[in-house]
Structure 1
Amino acid sequence: MKILFLCVVILSSASLTIANDNPLWTSRYSGITTGIDEVRGMVIDNTGNTYITGRSQGSGLNNNYDIATIKYNQNGDSVWVKRFNGGGMGLPVDEPHDIAVDNLGNVYVAGFSIGQDMTSDFITIKYNSIGDTVWVRRLTGDIGINQIAYSLDVDGIGNVYVTGTGGGNYLTVSYNSNGDFLWSKTYNGIGNDFDAAYKLKIKNGFLYVTGISRSVFGSSISADYLTIKYTLLGDSVWIKRYNGTDNNYDEPEDMFIDNSGNVYITGFSRNTSSAESADYLTIKYSSAGDSLWVRRYNGSVSGLDEAKSIAVDNSGNVYVTGRSVSSNGYDYATIKYSSSGVEEWVQRFNGLTFNSYDEANDLALDRFGNVYVTGTSQGTTMIADFVTIRYSPQGTMQWLNRYNSPANREDAAYFIAVDSLGFVYVSGNSVGSNLVADFLTMKIDKSTNIEPFNSSIPDNLSLNQNYPNPFNPETKIKFQISNSSEVTLTVFDNVGREVAVLLNQFLIAGNYEFNFKAKGLSSGIYFYRLSSENFSETKKMILLK
């Protein structure tokens, strides 16, 4: 397996510094058969554990899907794997949509399970820290009525809150720590049509849910953002509806609540009745439910722009990411707004092939205000990879991590988290050699020593002698490229065997410095080769341990 970790700081349009730190670990889950396994949620705890849930094909009737939940320790080792099969008839499908963990290490999963009547039921599962099933709660509607849970959260005393759709209405349910039913609330919108809550958050003793609510009966092209604030006893505090341009379709994708109780929601809002024309749509409400500002982002060309994730820093700055159409594809598009809604910067990532398909799916912040974005991006062979980017609070790209699976198949990251030490966790789906998707989770160490380098654009391609030389165990390799191109930097031992691929990437013209760490190599003579288009140069270096 070759995993490239590219760490960059953009000092100007022509100056980048690279380091070859690989992810600390990657873990793949291929299920119990050769079927499809797809991640649906990820969460981390305060002690370095990572929890993943998703749907996984089993060995039963019709290759049914089970709910598969995994706990990894801080080293990426699987602590436990639990599968849930609801035992439904006909089409036995069980699928999660969200996962949470409490301060005691209990794990909660919510989704749906096809019941005996072949309709879907709310399903909520609680596992303890060692993976034992504490309780399972199935909420069944009337005959023929589907109920699907999309999001959940846990309060400080272990009460669980789940939201989704039931019978075409918002359905929000609360259980205590023992799984006893506490209350349920429904919301039927003004259109008396389909309503579904997609996100639920708890903050400062209140519960917030948001989703879509069709505003015109029988119209699939007219829907609004619909946000409700409840007390933890289920009493409604306020309900807010946002109806965008010309009564068209508006759908929220993510929600964030800050420490003051301000509510931030992002998603997309169609400009017309066409599904191919939409903008990012971000709203800030006060704790009292007043609309403080609404911002639309229309991208670089008119077309489909969809925000997927939102986060807010301690100063109230708002960060949104998603996919935005360009002239020949889709780009990552990440935006920073001030607390008052002023657009501070927009950063677009157009991938390696420039005009490929690039889609950001999730975003997280660290305690310093750095912005981490992950998603899927087509590589030079037009096969999609995990791509994770870190931006400074000022919008400067600091590093980019691209992961191409061993099978060189499609990889798509959907979830990202950053812990208090700055370690980055990413999870998504990765197609393996059997041509079906697996869960793929990785932990990235971002702590790399980065130094500025000359910002001038060189006249030609050249490779410098590493320094220091001899070295133990690290050395710096500088090189210059005069034209943007595919670049490889490879290390060989003294008999010509390839021992490391440091770089295999499209780079813009500029001056580069690579920090080579040779901790896994023994003392001896090595050669490093730079190749780019019609250029190739090799130099010798000596490792003395």
Structure 2
Amino acid sequence: MKKIVAITFLFTNILFSQWENQYYSSALYSITLVGKSEAWIAGEDFSIIKLSDNDYLEIKYSGDVSKDFQSIAFFNEKAGFAIGTKGSIYLTENSGEYWKLHSSITDSFLKSGFVVNDSTGWIVGFGGTVFKTQNQGVDWVAISTGYNLNFHSVYFINDSTGWIAGENGIILKTSDGGQIWYPQNGNTNYDLQSIYFVDSMLGWCVGTYGTILITENGGEEWIARESHSEGSLNSVFFIDERQGVAVGSFGTIIRTSDGGNNWTPKESGITINLYSIAMYSRDTAYCVGGNAAVLKTIDGGENWVNINPRINNIHLFDAFFIDSNTGWAVGQNGTILNTTNGGRQWFPQISNTDKDLTSVYFIKSNGWAVGGGEIILKTSDGGKTWSYQNGTSNFYSSSVFFINKNVGWITSDISKVKKTLDGGKTWSEKFIEPYNVFTADFTSIFFLNENNGWVLGSNQFNQGTVYKTNDGGTNWTLVYKSTEYTLNEIFFTNNQKGWMIGNIPYDDAIVLTTDNGGAGWTTAAYLKNYSISSICFIDSLEGYLCGANGKILKSIDGGYNWAELESGTNQWLSSINFIDRNNGWVVGDHTVILKTTNGGTTLAAEENFTRESLDFSLFQNYPNPFNSSTIIKYKLPVESNVKLNIYNLLGQKVSTLTDENKSAGTHEIEFDCSDLPSGVYFFRIEAGNFADAKKLILIK
């Protein structure tokens, strides 16, 4: 294969991440209430989630996927801590906006945390681990109970009096703030998972094999009660001395209204394990569990609704947003997800198909989704209901694009383009290429208005083609053909400026750009060891790519130079979509949904990304076009080693104008091209970490 020479510079540094994973689907182990309308949740993959007004769920921290948070507790609305595996203790001092790792004090499995007041807190864990803090977690003091069993739960009713429950039915009590602990007889050898008291006398314990214990004398005597459950009960909570709820394995929820003497099973609607329960009032409660389940009741536990339903391990192929709040994502097996709050919550919509959906497009509440079997789905109510418009073939529809609620196009295999003028009620179709072994399967279509559009695709021999229409798709003209790489997606910001991406066999990618509406294309960037699936530009300078291994790239010079952004995932990313300069989403494999609200980089990274670009300058040559010579000017803020080269349209270097150290200031250099033929060339500068390129036109 002929090697393509790059006229690009890929920044070697990786910019700090500002992408939030919006579709968390791992287990949630702990929920705690803070204030009147806020709760905090902790779980697998070192994740911390905030639950706020209107049941908004927001991931506030996500760290090492090899570790889990087991418990979370708050001293007040600002200060709190989360604990978990490998002795992990994380603290927050600013209402959960930032979490910092506490210095290591143990490598034990930490299971339960509890806050007594604004300064005092407790941690218990495996191997008899007990810690106490009296300064909001800044310092933790090891406490000895005399027992080396695994402790699962801790509860205090005041500074002095508290209990610990754990394996083999162990229950310990202290009446002096933890200096002395003495055992209580729970009359069971089953592991106890959770303990709760409403005052110094009345308390409950729950555990494995449906164990429920009740005490009315501070634990001097514990009496077993029937739970009607054979699985593990993992958490218990009482809002007063009579009304309580316990949750456990296989979606078990049991409720009592007589102080725990009698328990009634309630339907949870799920079969996954539930791990923690918290009650706001006699009516409102939340419980959390596996698969990121967050169940809510507003009638005292009679009925429960999962406010965070998850669809796991689905490859999402495309996403589309109509504003900063409302968007859709589509994927395997007919999956359609919808958000109306900027991605804080995603809910499945019923597609009535199990075919893969590869592309989605919306005009206000009117939307279309296409995919396998050339299926076409249509909604007129924002996705509340989806209906079939087509879909009976063995071919694949890969891209849908509408310019208003009536006029739209769809691309399919074997170079097929479909068009509708009535919102999808009827479709006409056109085969652009003759059917043979070289026929391209179209994968992307883009229109600026009812007349001007482009379509591209590739064949089985990794050859890509691009066609353009000026009459809405009645006639198509071949404007580009590659013989060495596939073409995946095309994007335009106006009727002249556009880009497309392709992949070269063996994991290299190429970005091509046009300044004349697609009549001519030049190589903007050659990205070695990247496989790119999607491209999106905000304007003629700022754009994004995403692809394999969780890669997200950003350009601020029209696609010639790209910097890698830290995405926080290594999954395949299929589609990237921005609605403005700040707000964007990426979707991909394993139901990954990422969001940024500041263009994908932190403020520090953004400064690092643009500072040198703002201080260094490469000016357009003059005159341009020119005959035999032209002047190229550039500006340096500091002394730098400068490389200034000339390239032809094939990316081949045809001249080196300078390659030496230059002082700070403005410099000019004359380019004599009397020995070059007429044509379009590029001049490119590298100075420190700055790189830029511009086009010049030689006419003889």
TM-score, L = length of structure 1: 0.50
Structure with higher strand content? 1
Rg comparison, structure with higher value:
2
TM-score, L = length of structure 2: 0.40
Q: Compare relative contact order (CA 8 Å, sep 6+) and give the higher one, 1 or 2.
A: 1
Structure with higher helix content? 2
